[in-house]
Structure 1
Amino acid sequence: MKAKAGIACTIGLSAVLAACGEADQTEETAEQDEGNGEETETIDVYTTLFALEDFANRIGGDAVNVTNIVPVGADAHSFEPTAQTMIDIAESDMFLYNGAGMEGFADAVEDTLQGEDVKVAKAVEGINLIDYDHDHDHDDEHGHDDHGHEEDEHEHDDEHGHDHHAHEEDEHAHDDEHGHDDHAHEEDEDHSHDDHGHSHDHGDEDPHVWLDPVLSIEMAENIKEALVEVNPEESETFENNFEELQQELETLHEEFEAMVEAADKDTFIVSHAGYGYWEQRYGLNQLGISGLSPTNEPSQKQLEEIIQYAEDHDIEYVMFEQNITPQVAEVVQDEVGAEALRLHNLEALVEEDEENEEDYFSLMRRNIENLETALQ
C-alpha cells in the first residue's frame, strides 16, 4: 500500500526495464480484470509474535500482508532485529508489537520510525496488566493444594488481579524502586539479572496477555482499530472479521473453563513463568522453573523448593515450551522422575507447527489437552 523508493537504472538497461514494466503492468491489469476490475490495496504489517501475526491475518484478510520479524523457532525475549529488518519496517505501513516490555528492541524500532509514515500499534494498549510475582517460594502454606482448595486461596488482588493465593504480605514485599521480592537470595542469584540488558527483562508487568482468550479480544480490537486507521475503506471488512474472531475466542475461553472445572489438581510445573494470566483467569497455579523471561534462572534454593513441592504433591509432569528448553527444567524433570508435556507459548512457531499449518486456536486447544493431562 505504501509507495516504495525506486531503483536507479543505467541508460543501457532502461529499455529492458521499460519492456518488463509494460509486461508486469499488463499482467497486473489482467489480474484486476479477473477480480471485477477492483484492486485491493494491501497493508504491509510487520509484527513480533505469532499470536499477533495470526490475529492480524484473521482480521485483515486479503487486505493485509503480515510478516513476523522473529524467525521460526526463535525466542522473542532475546531476539534482535537486523539493520535490514529495521529498513523493511520503515518501508511498511504498520509496526504491530505486543508491548509491556516483551520486545526489548521496540523502543529502537519506534526511534527508527520517527518521521516515517508508519502506524505503530501496541497490542496491549489500554489493557490492565498483571504484576509478575518474583516469589518462587512453593511451600505448602501457599495454598497450592489439589483442586478442592478453598475459594479464598484463589482470591486475586483487586488492583492487579494477581494476589497469589493468600500469601502473607511480608512474603510479597517488593522494593519500592525496583519491584523485586524479598526472597533473601544473594544479588548474583536475583531474578532481575540486570546484566542481561533491556532485551531480556520484562520489568514487573507480565506481557503474556495473548494467552488469555478474553484479553485477546481486547488485543484483537486494538489491531482492528489500527488497521481501520491505516485503511478506513476496508473498515467494514475488518469489523466483520474481528467479530468472527471474537466469537472464536469466547468459545475457546469456555473450553478452557470447562477443562479447569473438571481437573483434579490446579498446579502445573512449566519451564518458564509465562502463564500468570491463566492463574488470574482460571485459578490455576504455575510453578515456573525460570522466571518471567527464560533467562531469569532460579536460585538453588528455589529449585529445591520446586522439586520438594512436586514430590509432596505427586506432580507427574513437567511442561516444556516449543522454543525454550532450559537445562534447569530438565534437571527438575529428572529429579522428580516426571514425564514431559508440551505447552505452546504462541510467541513463535517451530518448523513442526508450520508443517502442520497450526494456528492460534489449534495450538491453544493442544495446550488445553495437555493441561488436562497434567492436572489429572
Structure 2
Amino acid sequence: MFKKGFIYIGLLAIFLFVVTGCGSAPGSKAGLIEGKVNVVTSFYPLYDFTRNIGGEYVNVINLVPAGVEPHDWSPKSRDIKNMNNAQVFVYQGAGFEGWVGDFLQTIPKDSSLKVVEASQGSDLIKTSDSKEAYDPHAWLSPLNAVKMANNIKNALIAADPAHKDAFEQNYQAYAAKLKDLDVRYRTELAKTSKKEIAVSHQAFAYMCRDYGLTQLAIMGLSPEAEPTAQDLKNMNQYIKEHQLKYIFFEELVSDKLAKTLAKDANVDTMVLNPLEGLTAEQEKAGKDYISIMDDNLKNLVKALQ
C-alpha cells in the first residue's frame, strides 16, 4: 500500500507537468469571402456539419486551429473581427465555450449576425454537481448531431433564403449519414461482451448513454481537470474489477498520464477521440466527423471484447 501511494503521487506529478506545459496556439487565419455566406464556428464538429450542409454557397471559418484543444481556448482580435463581420456564428453552448457569453454581449442590437447555439434542442445530460449545468459533449451522440446539424441548416436558410432547397437537400443527405452511423454503433456495440470503458477525459457520457456503456475517467469534463490520488486509485480498481485491457486517451492532450497509469495497471492504451478538433495529420489525411467516429467504433469494439 505504501508503494502504491508513491505511484499515485508520481502520477499526479506527471499530470501537473503536462498541464502546465501546454501552450496556446494562434487563432484562425482564414478570411471572409464576398459572395458567400460566411460562417464562423467555435470548434471542429460544428465546422464539419456546416461545411456539409452549406456546400458551395458557404465559406466556413473554424476558430480553433488544428491540434489545439478547445476547452480553454479563447478568441484573438482577428477572430472577433471575423465573427462580427460574418453572416452566421455557430457555437456549441451547454457551457462548452467559456468566452461566448462575453462576445454575445458585444454584438450591436442592429447586427444582422445570425447566432446559433448548436446544442439547443439536443437531449442534454445534466452533470451531478449542479441542476443548471450540462455535459457539453453532445456531439458524441450521432442523433444529437442530427439535431445540431438541423439548427445550423435553419440558420443558413435564414441568412441565404435563395439557396434554401440546396441547404435542405444537403442536410437531408448528411442527416442520413449520421443516422447510419448511429445504426453502426448500435449494431456493433450490442455484440460486445464488456460494457465498461476507462478513459482519460470524461467526454463520452452521451456515447455511453446511447449505446449502453459505462465510463470511468481519470479526469473530469475538462481534459485539464486535476485528478486526485483517490481518482487514480479508483481507476486502477475499476480496471481490475472489470478486467479491462485498455485505457483510452485522446490525441489533443498529452497521453503521459494515461500511459503511466496503464503501465501500473498492466494494460495497454488506445485512442478514443472526443472530436474536439483534428490534428494537423488528420486534417491532411481528409479525416472528418464520421470517419473518426467510425475509427472510435473500431477501437471500442476491440477494447470491449
Both structures adopt the same fold (TM-score exceeding 0.5) = yes
| 1:256 positional shift | 0.2
Q: Deviations over 1:7-50 (max 9, x none)?
A: xxxxxxxxxxxxxxxxxxxxxxxxxxxxxxxxx94100111121
Q: Which residue of 2 aligns with 1:358?
A: 287
Q: TM-score normalised to the size of structure 2? A: 0.85
| 1:51 positional shift | 0.9
| 1:326 positional shift | 5.5
Q: Does 1:237 align with 2:166?
A: yes
1:280-359 aligned at under 5 Å gives the runs 280-325=209-254, 327-359=256-288
| 1:104 positional shift | 0.7
| 1:292 positional shift | 0.7
User: Aligned residues, how many?
Assistant: 271
| 1:132 positional shift | 2.5
Q: Does 1:56 align with 2:50?
A: yes
Give the residue type in structure 1 aligned to 2:161: P
1:99 alignment partner, one of 76, 93, 102: 93
Q: Which residue of 2 aligns with 1:113?
A: 107
Q: Distance in 2 between matches of 1:111 and 1:334?
A: 48
Q: Distance in 2 between matches of 1:44 and 1:84?
A: 15
Q: Which residue of 2 aligns with 1:82?
A: 76
Question: Who wins on radius of gyration, i.e. which is larger?
Answer: 1
Maintained 8 Å contact 2:123/2:144: no
Give the residue type in structure 2 aligned to 1:132: T
| 1:312 positional shift | 2.5
| 1:328 positional shift | 3.3
- SS of 2:135's partner is coil
Q: Does 1:124 align with 2:119?
A: yes
Maintained 8 Å contact 2:249/2:271: yes
- SS of 1:295's partner is coil
| 1:204 positional shift | 2.8
- SS of 2:125's partner is coil
Q: Deviations over 1:86-129 (max 9, x none)?
A: 11211111110000010111112212323332111110112231
Higher mean displacement: 356-365 or 322-331: 322-331
- SS of 2:169's partner is helix
Maintained 8 Å contact 1:57/1:64: yes
Q: Distance in 1 between matches of 2:47 and 2:265?
A: 37
2:133 alignment partner, one of 204, 208, 214: 204
Maintained 8 Å contact 1:90/1:112: no
Q: Distance in 1 between matches of 2:235 and 2:116?
A: 39
Percent identical pairs in the alignment equals 34
Q: Distance in 1 between matches of 2:60 and 2:278?
A: 15
Q: Does 1:42 align with 2:36?
A: yes
Q: Does 1:215 align with 2:172?
A: no
Q: Distance in 2 between matches of 1:355 and 1:251?
A: 25
RMSD over aligned Cα, in angstroms?
A: 1.5
Q: Which residue of 2 aligns with 1:68?
A: 62
Q: List 4+ stretches of structure 1 deviating above 4 A.
A: none
Q: Distance in 2 between matches of 1:372 and 1:243?
A: 29
Q: Distance in 2 between matches of 1:49 and 1:230?
A: 20
1:266 alignment partner, one of 170, 181, 195: 195
Q: TM-score normalised to the size of structure 1? A: 0.70
Higher mean displacement: 240-249 or 113-122: 113-122
Q: Which runs of 5+ in 1 are unaligned?
A: 1-39, 134-173, 180-202
Q: Does 1:253 align with 2:182?
A: yes
Q: Distance in 2 between matches of 1:72 and 1:114?
A: 30
| 1:78 positional shift | 0.7
Q: Which residue of 2 aligns with 1:24?
A: none
Q: Which runs of 5+ in 2 are unaligned?
A: 1-33
Q: Distance in 1 between matches of 2:255 and 2:120?
A: 31
